[in-house]
Homo-oligomer: A and B are copies of this chain.
Amino acid sequence: MNIGIIGSGTVAQTLGDRLLTAGEAVMISARDPDLPKDLGQRGILPAASVWATLNFDQGREAAAGVFAEAAAFGELLINATVGTASLAALGAADRADIEGKILVDLSNPLDFSHGMPPLLAFCNDDSLGERIQATYAGARVVKALNTVTAAVMVDPGRLGEETDLFVAGNDAAAKSWVTEHVLEGWLGWSRIVDLGDITAARATEMYLPLWLRLMGATGTPLLNVKLVVAA
């Protein structure tokens, strides 16, 4: 399947690698696909075009383009941009390349402009998932994967114990498809909780402040929660 990833950062490249390994065709995207990303203390991330070339040279169906090209390419779309830039990135695409498709939104609207820890740019009675769904009424938006770091998204077994993912969206068939093919199939998750319609994106985005505190307390982003319910 052709998968268009809106974004080219750590999450886009990590998830793209995993989807290529699963045998799918992946285009990641950026405003300028030839521009490397400065991650500060974490070094320099290769440009989208370099990532694509390195993977293509290994015989994988990898490509890089601008946002509009990834949207046109994808039969399945994944929003992996920085949450505060997601609507602008999607807005660079032809609307017809987004409407009607399943769009997995794994971003969080974190606002780092006030220092650490970041605030949410909006929350409580609003969410990024809802804003994307409202902007593209015909898209089948599924909020998922935004509660774990990229390395855990693509390798849940790394935690040594099964933990939970959460999905939200208005389209039940799209949620089922994403759960079965993306989360369980390509990524290897086994515990997925359907939280309801796209307004439940508020709940998982508002979990981020706790996630950030847990990262601070444990000293690692390689963490997640397991839902435990009384028998």
A: which residues have CB within 8 A of B? 114, 119-120, 123-125, 152, 158-161, 163, 166, 193-196, 200, 202-204, 206-207, 209-210, 212-214, 216-218, 220, 222-231
Instruction: Report yes or no: A230 in contact with B125, Cβ–Cβ below 8 A.
Output: no
List residues of chain B with CB within 8 A of the CB of A163.
Answer: 228
Most chain B CB within 10 A, of A124, A152, A159, A209, is at: A209
List residues of chain B with CB within 8 A of the CB of A204.
Answer: 210
Instruction: Report yes or no: A123 in contact with B206, Cβ–Cβ below 8 A.
Output: yes
A71 to B2, CA, bound (A): 64
Instruction: Report yes or no: B209 in contact with A203, Cβ–Cβ below 8 A.
Output: yes
**The residue from B160, B194, B228 contacting A223, defined by CB atoms under 8 A apart:** B228
Instruction: Report yes or no: A213 in contact with B203, Cβ–Cβ below 8 A.
Output: yes
Q: Is the interface of A mostly helix, strand, loop or mixed?
A: mixed
A202 to B207, CA, bound (A): 10
**The residue from B158, B202, B230 contacting A220, defined by CB atoms under 8 A apart:** B230
Instruction: Report yes or no: B223 in contact with A195, Cβ–Cβ below 8 A.
Output: no
Q: How far is the CB of A165 from chain B (nearest CB, A)?
A: 12
Instruction: Report yes or no: B195 in contact with A230, Cβ–Cβ below 8 A.
Output: no
List residues of chain B with CB within 8 A of the CB of A223.
Answer: 227-230
Instruction: Report yes or no: B229 in contact with A227, Cβ–Cβ below 8 A.
Output: no
A158 to B228, CA, bound (A): 10
List residues of chain B with CB within 8 A of the CB of A120.
Answer: 124
A209 to B231, CA, bound (A): 23
Residue of B nearest to A214 (CB): B227
List residues of chain B with CB within 8 A of the CB of A229.
Answer: 159, 218, 220, 222-223
List residues of chain B with CB within 8 A of the CB of A222.
Answer: 229-230
**A224-B228, A226-B226 known; A210 vs B216 contact (CB < 8 Å):** no
A149 to B19, CA, bound (A): 40
